[in-house]
Amino acid sequence: MSETTPSAPRPAEILPGSRVLLTGASGLLGGSVARRLAQDGYEVTTLQRSASGLDKVRDVRGSLTDHALVAQAMAGQDAVIHMAAKVSVSGRRQDFVDVNIHGTENILDAAEAAGVEHLLHVSSPSVAHAGTSLVGEGAGDPDPTAVLGHYARTKAEAELLVQARAAAGMKVLVIRPHLIWGPGDGQLTRRVVDRARSGRLPLLGSGAALVDTLYIDNAVDAFAAGLRRLPQIHGRRLVLTNGEPRPIGELLMGIAEAGGARRPRLRVAPAVAKAAGLAVEKIWGLAERVAGDLDDEPPMTKFLAEQLSTAHWFDQRETRAALDWTPAISIDDGLALLAEHVRRTGGV
């Protein structure tokens, strides 16, 4: 009888029972992922300014800029998911630097000091978007010199810091989710609905530029898969979407209607919107310097005008193969779920 060659051992996974630190659980994505991991049997610690409100989760409340607090939260962990960030289309650059760059540095330093070698870093496709159309692209290199806005620039710089630690031996997986929406989303979903209700949601040009988005439940499934498979797939950058590019006008109208608002009718030429965005940015910046942080965001910026008028969708083959994941909820099903949520609760 011939001898058979034993198969190579399967790479380790980060399994339920492991201790995981997650930053940013007060947001929809962070809170949803933390809840899912706790339900799956992981020992979850969250770090953010406010209470997460989650069962079976240990909260550490405070800022990413507090090095000692970050080190305290990191102690004894097996892996970290870094989601917390300052996300806005306006604001003072230093506020973005403090959270997105220095906060990430604190996470990296604390992980290294505590011997935590597995990091799932949450970034954004905007770190590699210089304003031109992205058609079936992969995850490009982060370039803080080419992108627009304090958020994209500081997230690109943060990703470069993470990349340097990966080169030094840390096992890092970077996931860039694109335009998450769904029930409970106070970023994209609520702003689209609120602006549609007030008549302040413009369609730029024909509204035909193809854009892909990501339904919240699919995002949660993908991040759970990414954490589990991180020891096998570290070293990659993955853009994460539903894989269903739609015309941006169709998406905006669908979300607005699902949220109980009328379809937007205001149409603006992209060049006009970009010029107006630049002017509004200057006025908003002056107002922030005089009055401090503003409660609302500007109605238009150059970055926002580009996002609403250029195609940006991404090849998902590598992402799905690496994560061993496919979206369970389609865009149309997600819109139906959002509409049902609004009917049941009365709010987005």
The continuous run of DSSP H or E covering 246 comes out as strand 246-247
Largest CA distance in the chain: 85
Kindly report the number of other CB atoms within 10 A of residue 121's CB atom: 25
Task: Please report, in angstroms and rounded to a whole number, the separation of the first and last CA atoms in the chain.
Answer: 67
Q: How far apart are CA 102 and CA 136, in angstroms?
A: 33
Nearest to 184 by CA among 348, 333, 332, 33: 348
Three state DSSP letters for 128-182: HCCCCCEEEECCCCCCCCCCCCHHHHHHHHHHHHHHHHHHCCCEEEEEEECCEEC
Q: Taking CA 182 as the corner, what is the angle to CA 21 and CA 98, rounded to the nearest 5 degrees? A: 45
Q: How far apart are CA 112 and CA 46, in angstroms?
A: 18
Q: How far apart are CA 203 and CA 76, in angstroms?
A: 50
What backbone torsions phi and psi does residue 123 show, to the nearest 5 degrees? -120, -150
Q: How far apart are CA 131 and CA 306, in angstroms?
A: 6
CA distances from 76 to 70, 183, 223 (A): 12, 34, 22
Q: How far apart are CA 244 and CA 109, in angstroms?
A: 38
Active-site residue identified among 110, 118, 139, 151: 151
151 tagged catalytic: yes
Tokens representing 203 are 């369609």
Q: How far apart are CA 61 and CA 249, in angstroms?
A: 40
Tokens representing 323 are 């994560």
3-state DSSP assignment of residue 79: strand
- Paired strand residues for 47: 23, 60
Supply the residues annotated as catalytic: 151
